[in-house]
Structure 1
């Protein structure tokens, strides 16, 4: 459902004399109890949260209201895939270094902080991140004669070459079970590891001139040709069921994916899934958001104070405990509440410590161009699915290049 504007959606004085602030989020940020806590400590503030179930309608609403010049919340959450579009409209957002409270230097991981800056202006306070690890079915690897403990599998997942080579070994003995869920899910994880992606920093489309993209394509489609993919479109009903039925053995696994796996695989598969900090070719990040304060806000300074408070390490740890959103704050990554947290579904693994270590492996966030999210979701993911459905890899690549040019215009 689209966020709807109300008479007070851009903030203002509530009838009881309190300053009303609105915050628009999507999915689960873990802020429900935090907002109550903030109100209790600030008797002059009343907060209304407007939350949508998915990110796409939230961002569609955000850009529609930006174009209209009114109707936005005081604080608008932005997912990393849409951040470049916000940065291209940086003039419509407040510089948080200018209007926000002074925050401790080095609060965020440097790559997280840098990704939300434009011409020296800080457009968004970082919330969560999605450091990458690898999830896998221990029982399925064991049946195929492959190692299955989190330490023993590290050699399988050391590089993409070793990952796909292990896939060949698995397929030979798996009895029809696939190695991974979806070509696009693997391709996207590989792609996110590169410093330069679909666009360079001048927003020029570089798909044809960036050899890393074609190399990833060749590796993934080659694995598809060898039967390694379950050919399941991510987030489809068939993909959801695939977790429960054991249709594939491995899953590229940002921190937020643990919750997805547990929900879709169900209690009957508890203990069968494991996660290891080994990830092909090192670390990577997939996901994460920011809190922005549009210039439409009538109470920008108070909105920035709330946004700064929500993204402080102490509050992000509380959000992690509430909804599992993995913090991007340096102090939070060393907090015992995070490091000592374990996940029973994944064999009581200390998931907090594991993903904290993975986050430290990321050296820079890939620059996302204006239509980066569309290229990922509607161009390359669709092209890879067509390969899984029988289209030749070369023809699908040509189609992807053609469609990319249209989307980037």
Structure 2
């Protein structure tokens, strides 16, 4: 499952941004070529919520001769399908195009159709602005920078304190760390929980499996775009762990973001869920006010850190104003602006200076017991040391092969038989 649903903000009451960040607003781009010459019309395409509405208004005020049209699509799937179609057609794309990290491999395969931002972008948009792994993941195989990083989705775990306590398990944020230290300890606690209560431990098996695979040094494809599904022991190990957990009754057998999944939050249908930073708002919305204080989040994730979600801003070669488009993209992805996007929609910034700002670190969330969510997720972000290479077809394997295969196991298909479906399905995608 990839981040195609960026939802409700968990950043409530974020303070006015400090003057210490003022210098990070994209110095070159604030006084770039858009301030001279005739009227320039730029367009930007985004999906779901990026928190850019007020920022685009501000940018036009700073650049009176630039007019920006914002094309915003509600769902990420259709948006990215349309992107690939227009890329192949050679026309129709915006000057600045947002791409979700799960689909970035699809455009990296066609990176010649995008501008190198290191060549056309402002000089202050340098590598040290971003977390290293985020910046590196925005480059193609030749080292060309295709995308400026926007947000990230550092991983933690959310859990129901009351349900764990009723099962005789630790329930405070410090106590649960031993349960969530490794995948073995996590599933061991899940087996205990399911045996004690007769209820599921987690919500959706595909979300856990994808999180496990994303922690591996090499995923479904290596850097030569060769399929590793049979040669990568980490993938099969993850499969065995998750299917064993399913056989023990640990899975609620729900489809993430479906109606039953949303209802499950309200009814306590599961005790734990994978919680990237943007998921806190989803939990609050779906679980509702009646469950405030019951859900908690801890700065622990099995086998270390991880990332789920985040996007990039790109400038296709179709753009008639590539330099001005790059300046806009660089300005939007500066620390100051990404903190404002965090304030607007809860998208967690990928910029180093934003991650150390008091405004972010002091952010709390009353729904989760006044935990310092900014500090917690900033620490989780620092645990991610590299970005796993995502070759062409990676997202299709996750969505169209892994997910239905795990659902089949949940409905009674033997794990070995479903694994063969995974192998065969992946081979059909990566030929």
Q: Indicate the TM-score class for this superposition, using the shorter chain for normalisation.
A: over 0.9
TM-score of the superposed pair, with normalisation by structure 2: 0.90
**How many Å separate the matches in 2 of 1:105 and 1:121?**
12
Q: Secondary structure at the match of 1:106?
A: helix
Instruction: After superposition, give the CA deviation of every residue in 1:307-326 in whole Å (9 maximum; x if it has no partner).
Output: 00000000000000110000
Residue of structure 2 aligned with 1:80, choices 98, 101, 104: 101
Q: Which residue of 2 aligns with 1:143?
A: 166
Q: Which residue of 2 aligns with 1:182?
A: 204
Contact kept? 1:66, 1:72, Cα under 8 Å = yes
What CA deviation, in whole Å up to 9, does each residue of 1:74-127 have, x standing for no partner?
Answer: 000001111111111111000000001112440000000001112121000000
d(CA) in 2 for partners of 1:195, 1:242:
33
Match of 1:156 in 2: 179
Answer yes or no: is 1:405 the counterpart of 2:427: yes
Which of 90, 97, 108 aligns to 1:69? It is 90
CA distance in 1, matches of 2:413, 2:42: 51
Q: Does structure 1 retain, via aligned residues, the 8 Å contact 2:199–2:249?
A: no
Mapped contact 1:177–1:246 kept (Cα < 8 A):
no
**Corresponding residue for residue 368 of structure 1:** 390
Equivalent residue, structure 1, for 2:81: 60
Determine if the alignment matches structure 1 residue 91 to structure 2 residue 142: no
In 2, the alpha carbon distance for the partners of 1:358 and 1:53 equals 28
3-state SS of 2:352 partner: coil
Distance (Å, rounded) in 1 between the aligned partners of 2:292 and 2:54: 29
Alignment root-mean-square deviation, CA:
1.0
d(CA) in 2 for partners of 1:191, 1:257: 19
Which runs of 5 or more residues in structure 2 are unaligned? 1-33
- The match for 1:304 among 319, 326, 346 is 326
Q: Secondary structure at the match of 1:251?
A: strand
**Alignment-derived partner of residue 168 in structure 1:** 191
Secondary structure class of the residue paired with 1:291 = strand
CA contact (8 A) 2:363 2:374 kept: yes
Q: 1:51 aligns with which of 41, 57, 72?
A: 72
Secondary structure in 2 matching 1:122: coil
Distance in 1 separating the partners of 2:210 and 2:348: 20
Give the 5 Å matches for 1:316-327.
316-327=338-349
Inter-partner Cα distance in structure 2 for 1:105 and 1:358? 21
SS in 1 for 2:308: strand
Q: Which residue is equivalent to 1:3? A: none
Q: What secondary structure sits across from 1:370 in the alignment?
A: coil
Question: Partner of 2:148 in structure 1?
Answer: 125
Cα deviation, 1:348-394, whole Å, max 9, x if unaligned, reads 11101000000000110010010111100110011001101111100
The answer to which structure, 1 or 2, has the higher relative contact order (CA under 8 A, 6+ apart) is 2
Give the paired residue count: 393
